[in-house]
Amino acid sequence: MKLKTPLCMASAVALMAATAAQAETITIATVNNGDMIRMQGYTDTFTEQTGIEVEWVTLEENVLRQRVTTDITTKGGQFDIMTIGMYETPIWGANDWLVPLNDLSDEYDVDDILPAMRNGLSHDGTLYAAPFYGESSMVMYRTDLMEQAGLEMPDAPTWQFIREAAAAMDNPEEEINGICLRGKAGWGEGGAFITVTGNSFGARWFDEDWNAQFDQPEWADALNFYVNLMNDYGPEGYATNGFNENLNLFQQGKCGMWIDATVAASFVTNPDDSTVADSVGFALAPNSEGVEKRSNWLWAWALAIPAGTQKEAEAKQFIEWATSKDYIELVAANEGWANVPPGARASLYDTPEYQEVPFAQKTLESINAADPTNPTVDPVPYVGIQFVAIPEFAGMATEVSQEFSAAYAGQQTVEEALEKAQAIANETMEAAGYR
């Protein structure tokens, strides 16, 4: 026994050394928003449980989309996991560019993922990405400023009320803008916002024959309303503001209202980050008077595995960990229920502690109200609310959003921007054979 013990110890040490030498490292590309950055802070927990190391490539939203799209279309192999959304996932899944997530463990409970999220991240019934969080969009507003203005925010406001409230809350002397909205170029930044705004004015990207519709009065009404609203009551330089820029402005108390992703609610109500945390209210995204469609979208930032990775098993382990019920409980235990990733799992909304979170129900209501298969007033040949679910959309919509941002910056008129958008969209459809 005395001779065997050192041998056992030596064997154990050798085994540990071999295990360490064989430890895998996965590389994840992700977006630089608060929930994804928070997840990086818990990565050590995953590594301790599995021995798998994680390297992060954290990028601004527009840059992330360019990098992962280039990597997957060229089979570059830079990443083992990509953060993508509802636009890319079904298209890339159909092209066999992603690993199907049809063999996740029973404990993971795929059926607990909200149907809107599961459907949006699937192709032909197969899940190709797991939602880290899901979102729609809604109004976030300063309850103290609304009260001072003598107004009461309706549960379901119109754009006309939003303009009235923005005028009443705007206070340049105190550096308070009546409203903060996205104007930044990029199909998923300002392009997403102006598309849902267009929906709520009765506009659409294409008619049923794939003819562009930017020459129709509904688009002129939507874009003129937006430009006038922001020129009158928005921050200077709004043409370059996206999600993160407006979040920062709101947290600093410089916005009376902000209409954006429901996921922002936890950040504007967090007293560690927001100077107005105790005076934030929520309402559904607005519609224009007489138009039934509201300006809310449907999205999920989700984790997907590019086909061809050499670390598929390890990548699936990470996805199961990061999008699980256990991860939600981990964040809740450390940071409170208001800060868990929202909008992905049905069980979260059945949790009594989460039901007490002031924005929880409004987030779920907004998600459930979004209908990607029926996004506009008039019929359309596409699926998608803030995007058109065709491969050509990303490039085309980025160009269109650049023209709109130029109008926001005063570099061209609304009429000129719409004329160019019409040409870009029609030329793209003709070149791709849609018409």
Distance CA 385, CA 295 (A): 9
Local confidence band at 15 (pLDDT 50, 70, 90 cut-offs)? very low
The answer to whether residue 6 scores a pLDDT higher than 80 is: no
Mean pLDDT of 209-237: 98
In this prediction, residue 7 carries a pLDDT of 39
Q: What is the pLDDT of residues 232-243, one digit of tens each?
A: 999 999 999 999
Token digits of residue 167:
């005028």
Q: What is the pLDDT of residues 64-79, one digit of tens each?
A: 999 999 999 999 999 9
Write the DSSP assignment of 195-226 as a string of letters: HHHHHHTT--SB-TT--B-TTSHHHHHHHHHH
Write the DSSP assignment of 117-132 as a string of letters: HHHHTEETTEE--EEE
CA dihedral over 219, 220, 225, 227, signed as positive or negative: positive
Mean pLDDT of 77-87: 97
The answer to whether residue 54 scores a pLDDT higher than 60 is: yes
Mean pLDDT of 340-358: 97
In this prediction, residue 8 carries a pLDDT of 41
Average pLDDT, the chain: 94
Q: What is the pLDDT of residues 274-292, one digit of tens each?
A: 999 999 999 999 999 999 9
Going from the C-alpha of 358 to that of each of 198, 280, 283, the distances in angstroms are 29, 9, 11
In this prediction, residue 179 carries a pLDDT of 98
Distance CA 280, CA 257 (A): 9
> In the chain, pLDDT over 90 holds for what percent of residues?
94
Nearest to 137 by CA among 253, 243, 60: 243
In this prediction, residue 22 carries a pLDDT of 53
- pTM for the structure as a whole: 0.91
Q: How much of the chain is helix, strand and coil, in % rounded to 5? A: 50, 15, 35
Match 């019409």 to its residue by tokens.
Answer: 422
Q: What is the pLDDT of residues 124-152, one digit of tens each?
A: 999 999 999 999 999 999 999 999 999 99
